[in-house]
Every structure is written in C-alpha cells, then in structure tokens.
Amino acid sequence: MLKITRGGQGITIETGAGIFTIDGACGGQVTSFFLKDELGQHQVAGRKAPLMDLRFTADGHNITLATTRADLAVTVEAADFARISASSSLLDGALKLTQDYEIHEEGALFCNLAVVTPAGKHLELSGCSLNASVQIAGTRMAR
C-alpha cells in the first residue's frame, strides 16, 4: 500500500521498497530517496542535490531546474498506484516543463518529462543535461 504525505512544498511517497520526496521548491524533482530493507532505511539520494537534476543553457544563461518552483498535484491516488504531476516555467515562460511521475506500491517509479516552448516564445537552447547524484558513502555492495 502506498502512503502519500503532503507537507510544505513537497509530497512524500512511501512504497514497499522506498521513501522519496518530490519537492515543488526544487523544480518538482526528487530531493530525497531512501531504500528500505529488513534492517531499516538507507538514504541514497538527496543529501546535497536532487536525485536527477535537469540543467539547460539557453539564451546565454545556465539554468538548473533545482532553482525553479514547480506546482505539484496528485492526479491519481489508489492503494497500489499514484500519479503526481509537477509543472514549472523557465525563462519567463519560454520553456514549460511537466514531469509526470507514476509510482507503484512495489517501488517502481517512472517519470515522463515533457519540455515545450509555447507558441510565440523564442529561445536559443545551446545545451541540456540530466545529472544523477547518488550517495554511496558507506556502501559495501551495490546492485
């Protein structure tokens, strides 16, 4: 069974395998991720950076999604499945981002990312990257 907790600008989801937080103050990205096992919980992401941080170079500016606010909405909530949508706007609306998360009770997490330039807007996009940050200090074995 999924447990969804809303608090502040984020939404925390607990599944059978882990606990993660989607943070509206950090562009709607996953800012905390704990794996669960029979011995407890182990934080693997979120101590210093979001799990995945989307960055753009546009119109001569380096922009990270982590510095942008996103509107969060739970669009589907069931005992074993949920969908959460995060919407944000960059460069005065020249880039619109939507992250649609799909979460399953067993711990599977999917994210569909859409980046759109609305009609009438213009920008020069010269770079885009998605960087992963996983904490491995104290890990003896990873699979």
CB-CB neighbours of 26 under 10 Å: 26
Please tell me the distance from the alpha carbon of residue 122 to that of residue 133, in angstroms, as a whole number: 31
Q: Which pLDDT score, from 0 to 100, does residue 15 have?
A: 93
Please tell me the distance from the alpha carbon of residue 70 to that of residue 111, in angstroms, as a whole number: 15
Which segments of the chain have a pLDDT < 70? 47-48, 133-143
Please tell me the distance from the alpha carbon of residue 102 to that of residue 100, in angstroms, as a whole number: 7
Q: How confident is the model over 5-27, as pLDDT tens digits?
A: 998 889 999 998 999 999 999 99
Please tell me the distance from the alpha carbon of residue 53 to that of residue 27, in angstroms, as a whole number: 9
Please tell me the distance from the alpha carbon of residue 31 to that of residue 87, in angstroms, as a whole number: 16
